[in-house]
């Protein structure tokens, strides 16, 4: 997801999505339906005819996710998706990511804002100085790390990851696939 939209600022939202739909080789006849679909998913239909450069930071984040969804990927890799958003937009972003995960998307999130990660994630892995821990819900060692990675998964991984131990943090608990509550 882009941090800035660069040369695409002078495009309308639908033109921006159409451009990336073409880049993803989505046939022209299917692109309009796909644009409608991703704008609906991200609750951004009302932005369709607005110029990208007139959008707020939160709106741009939604359009960035819509662009990412144009080719219907199974996995989304997001770097600081709530960066620079106001409190209400952060809540909306969490809800959007939960809906996408409930729809079967695996979402990888990289962030250093640890409390926010806890609110967005089903499982958490810590990466520090090239080492990582197996995914889990342990928060015991968060304060001692400055670089983290977090992911939400709709399915268990094909193979468990190998755990790397760190003397600064106890090993993460044994990873089990996340269970979803009916509320999502």
Q: Read off the pLDDT of residues 19-61 as tens digits, 9 standing for 90 and up.
A: 999 999 999 999 999 999 999 999 999 999 999 989 988 888 8
Higher-confidence residue of 16 and 159: namely: 16
169 beta partners: 166
Q: Read off the pLDDT of residues 80-129 as tens digits, 9 standing for 90 and up.
A: 888 888 888 888 888 888 888 888 888 888 877 777 777 777 777 777 67
Give residue 179's pLDDT band: very low, low, confident or very high (50, 70, 90). low
Question: Residue 29: what pLDDT?
Answer: 92
Residue 174 has pLDDT above 70, yes or no: no
Higher-confidence residue of 68 and 115: namely: 68
Cα dihedral across residues 116, 126, 150, 179: positive or negative:
negative
- Of 76, 80, 45, 78, the closest CA to residue 63 belongs to 45
Residue 131 has pLDDT above 50, yes or no: yes
pTM of the model: 0.68
Q: State the Cα–Cα distance between residues 7 and 19, nearest whole angstrom.
A: 12
């Amino acid at each position: 997801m882009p941090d800035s939209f660069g040369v695409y600022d002078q495009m309308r939202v639908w033109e921006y999505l159409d451009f990336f739909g073409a880049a993803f080789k989505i046939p022209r006849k299917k692109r309009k339906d796909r644009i409608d679909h991703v704008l609906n998913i991200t609750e951004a239909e009302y932005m369709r005819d607005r110029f990208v450069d007139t959008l707020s930071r939160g709106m741009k984040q939604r359009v960035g996710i819509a662009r990412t969804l144009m080719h219907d990927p199974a996995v989304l890799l997001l770097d600081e998706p709530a960066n620079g958003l106001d409190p209400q937009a952060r809540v909306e972003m969490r809800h959007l990511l939960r809906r996408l995960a409930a729809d079967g998307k695996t979402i990888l999130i990289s962030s250093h804002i640890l409390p926010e990660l806890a609110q967005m994630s089903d499982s958490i892995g810590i990466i520090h100085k090239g080492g990582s821990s197996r995914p889990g819900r342990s928060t015991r060692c968060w304060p001692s790390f400055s670089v983290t990675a977090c992911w939400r998964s709709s399915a268990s991984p094909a193979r468990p990851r190998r755990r790397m131990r760190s003397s600064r943090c106890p090993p993460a608990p044994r990873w089990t696939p996340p269970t979803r509550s009916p509320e999502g």
